[in-house]
Amino acid sequence: MKHSYTSADQWPLKLAKNPEIIRRLPVYVPPYHLQVYPTNKCNRNCSFCSCKNRDKSLELSFGDVVFQAQKLGEYGTRAVTISGGGEPLLHPHINEIIRGLWNIGFEVGLTTNGDYLNVLNDWSLTILSWVRISGSDEYGFDPKWWLKIAQPIIEKYQDVSWSFSYVATKKFDHSNLNDYIYTADKFNFSHVRVVWDLLDRGEPPVLETKSKRVIWQPRDNPRKGAKECWFSLIKPLLAADGYIYPCCGVQYARKNADLDNPKEFRMEKIPRPWVLQKPFDGTKCERCYYSEYNDYISRIKQPVDHANFI
């Protein structure tokens, strides 16, 4: 199950099972899955936030998002994840962004803390393929929020694949996590992803649950980045500053985490990296959580003799 809902520190099963990409990889790596941070604004102040040093005033316009995404669509984008950065539902035109991306022909997913879930209109909740709601030890599961805002929406829009993502810290609150797991089981969520606080690691928490929906993702095996970071071409990030970055993990890429998207990690403007098939120079990255993807794509791009003798 974990290969369906995670990519960091995972063997790229979904990539391997996608014949459209595999046929093209020997000569062309498309920007198949675009991640977008439409705004850096956020209503929370999580201690473990990977982007806490960002400029919180930055925000892409509706036109910026759709125009950039449409340009990438011409080079092979098929899916877009809206995330942050900040809290995407604080963007004043989030519904227009979702519909605009869908009108181009993309599948659209959303990551949100869920506090403003009720700003999504009927169109958005019909369009979205999945929604992942964030939780953590720092914010207790709020029954009032669930009963007043989340539950009515989730019960009405059951075609959306709903899930939770939970950050476990050194002050691990198993009781709080169990509230999320119980809710996910009761309302048939696709999964509950539990991730470790990458900024302040203690001993890994002991998960005591019988739920088969839980995916534990410690991300404790980063590697040095590759010279040819093909992941930068297949899953780029459009950040709220308007620049393209090689992935959503550049905040952690150096030994001393920047907690922002470092300027020197910016890629060239669209469409140059894809026209030239110029991957990002990942040797700048002390910590890479997508090495499995780079290894796989690199091997696919290598010619072999006696190809039929498998």
Domain layout of the chain by residue ranges? 2-21+31-301
Residue 79 has pLDDT above 70, yes or no: yes
Q: What's the pLDDT at 201?
A: 65
Q: What's the pLDDT at 241?
A: 97
- Is residue 54 classed exposed, middle or buried when 0-12, 13-18 and 19+ CB atoms within 10 A define those classes? buried
Task: Please tell me the distance from the alpha carbon of residue 191 to that of residue 189, in angstroms, as a whole number.
Answer: 6
Residue 268 has pLDDT above 70, yes or no: yes
Task: Please tell me the distance from the alpha carbon of residue 260 to that of residue 253, in angstroms, as a whole number.
Answer: 10
Q: What's the pLDDT at 303?
A: 92
The second-level CATH assignment, the architecture, of 2-21+31-301 is: Alpha-Beta Barrel (3.20)
Alpha helices per DSSP H over 50-119? 62-73, 94-104
Task: Please tell me the distance from the alpha carbon of residue 126 to that of residue 98, in angstroms, as a whole number.
Answer: 10
- Is residue 234 classed exposed, middle or buried when 0-12, 13-18 and 19+ CB atoms within 10 A define those classes? buried
Task: Please tell me the distance from the alpha carbon of residue 239 to that of residue 120, in angstroms, as a whole number.
Answer: 21
pLDDT in tens, 138-196: 999 999 999 999 999 999 999 999 999 999 988 899 999 999 999 999 999 999 999 98
What pairing do the DSSP bridges indicate for beta strands 107-112 and 79-82?
A: parallel
